[in-house]
Chain A
Amino acid sequence: MTGVNDIGGQAAGPLDLSEHALSSFDQRVDAMLMLLVHPNRGAFRVDALRRAIESYRQQDYDSLTYYERWLRAIRELVVEQDILSEDEITAKISELAAKQAKA
């Protein structure tokens, strides 16, 4: 099974060379990952992030943005590593969504 990421040599179209600065979302996700994989914390290795992303179905790999892929993997890995539970995460999301709805 070739991973969805293992694309060297596949046919593809022309490059889009436009420049895009990282959004604040991108920056926060990047920062979160860098802190989590830092040896001082060692929540997981960057290899685990890659592995998690490689396991996505093709359509998810293609349709999620670069940092959305990272964030989804971070979510899976902090649960794998018993740092957070799925319940805690869904509860927090509901809480934040409710606050947003009220605002």
Chain B
Amino acid sequence: MTASENDDHHQDELGHASPEFVLLEEALRLLLVEKDIFTPEEIQAQIEGMESRTSALGSMIVAKAWTDPEYKKWLLSDAGAAVESVGVDMNAQPELHVLENTDDIHHVVVCTLCSCYPRAVLGVPPAWYKGREYRSRVVVEPREVLREFGTELSDKINVQVTDQTADRRFLVLPQRPASTEGWSAAQLEVLVTRNSMIGTALPLTPEQLEAENT
């Protein structure tokens, strides 16, 4: 990477806008309000909604699937309805589908063409997900990319990359970690990281959680 490419990449990661764009945003917003396209209150409500939608929703759903076999079946066959039933707002959201990790298959999702992401249950995507490196490389060298997350998969398990090219959005349902017998859904939720629902990582093990908390 050249120095300027590195700066651009860095700037992109930080999300800082140049003054001309900050001015443009204000101008467009004020004009669109003047034209009754939306109100300032609607913008605020949208921002607040965005802040309230985080990957904690996804973690709750995964933990519920781990502890409730009927819910898991429902989630796998009709994810939209299943997540709505636990309070997820699916209004005007793209179709949601769930990909289940098993002993034989590990799922990872991407949108090579832009940054499509299951926002209804995970909130906004992380910067790396939207970036050039992930979108270019995960389709051609998924195992190497996963390694950058500290995720090592044996050759006995097959990796399936899902490129979200159309209107379906995919949430990965990771496997429940070992040694969690008897854990409640609330306890299990804490193990379900955002990255484990994208597929670049596995959920935390009880040992890893312990290490984090000490």
Chain A residues in contact with chain B, CB under 8 A? Answer: 3, 5-20, 22-23, 25-32, 34-36, 38-39, 41, 43, 50, 53, 62-68, 71-72, 74-75, 78, 83-84, 88-89, 92-93, 96-97, 100
Contacting pair A74 B136 (CB below 8 A): no
- Chain B interface size, under 10 / 10 to 19 / 20 to 34 / 35 or more: 35 or more
User: Given A9-B140, A20-B14, A31–B113 Cβ distance below 8 Å?
Assistant: no
CB-CB under 8 A from A25, the residues of chain B are 15-17, 21-22, 25
CB-CB under 8 A from A6, the residues of chain B are 112-113
Contacting pair B37 A65 (CB below 8 A): no
Which of A17, A36, A71 contacts B24 (CB under 8 A)?
A71
Which residue on chain B has the smallest CB distance to residue A59?
A: B8
User: Given A66-B15, A67-B17, A84-B32, A41–B37 Cβ distance below 8 Å?
Assistant: yes
Q: Give A25 to B80 CA distance when docked, in angstroms.
A: 30
Contacting pair B38 A41 (CB below 8 A): yes
CB-CB under 8 A from B22, the residues of chain A are 25
Give 3 nearest A-B pairs by CB, closest first.
A8-B112, A31-B46, A92-B27
Which of A8, A18, A29 contacts B25 (CB under 8 A)?
A29
CB-CB under 8 A from B149, the residues of chain A are 17
Known: A93-B23, A93-B24. 16 other contacts (CB 8 A): A5-B114, A8-B112, A9-B112, A9-B140, A10-B132, A16-B9, A19-B127, A20-B126, A25-B21, A26-B17, A27-B50, A27-B51, A29-B25, A66-B115, A66-B127, A72-B24
**Is B47 an interface position by the 8 A CB rule?**
yes
Contacting pair B31 A20 (CB below 8 A): no
Secondary structure at chain B's binding surface: helix, strand, loop or mixed?
helix
CB-CB under 8 A from A3, the residues of chain B are 113
Which residue on chain B has the smallest CB distance to residue A95?
A: B27
Chain B residues in contact with chain A, CB under 8 A? Answer: 1, 5, 8-9, 11-18, 21-32, 35, 37-38, 42-43, 46-47, 50-51, 92, 112-115, 124, 126-128, 130-137, 139-140, 145, 148-149, 163
Which of B25, B31, B46, B126 contacts A88 (CB under 8 A)?
B31
Contacting pair A43 B29 (CB below 8 A): no
Q: Give A6 to B23 CA distance when docked, in angstroms.
A: 30
Which of A30, A62, A75, A100 contacts B28 (CB under 8 A)?
A75
Contacting pair A20 B15 (CB below 8 A): yes
Contacting pair B23 A7 (CB below 8 A): no
CB-CB under 8 A from B126, the residues of chain A are 19-20
Give me 24 A-to-B residue pairs in the complex whose CB atoms sit less than 8 angstroms apart, sorted by A's number: A3-B113, A7-B112, A7-B135, A11-B137, A15-B145, A16-B133, A17-B128, A20-B13, A23-B16, A25-B17, A26-B15, A30-B50, A30-B124, A31-B50, A32-B28, A32-B43, A35-B42, A62-B8, A63-B8, A64-B12, A66-B12, A66-B15, A83-B35, A93-B23
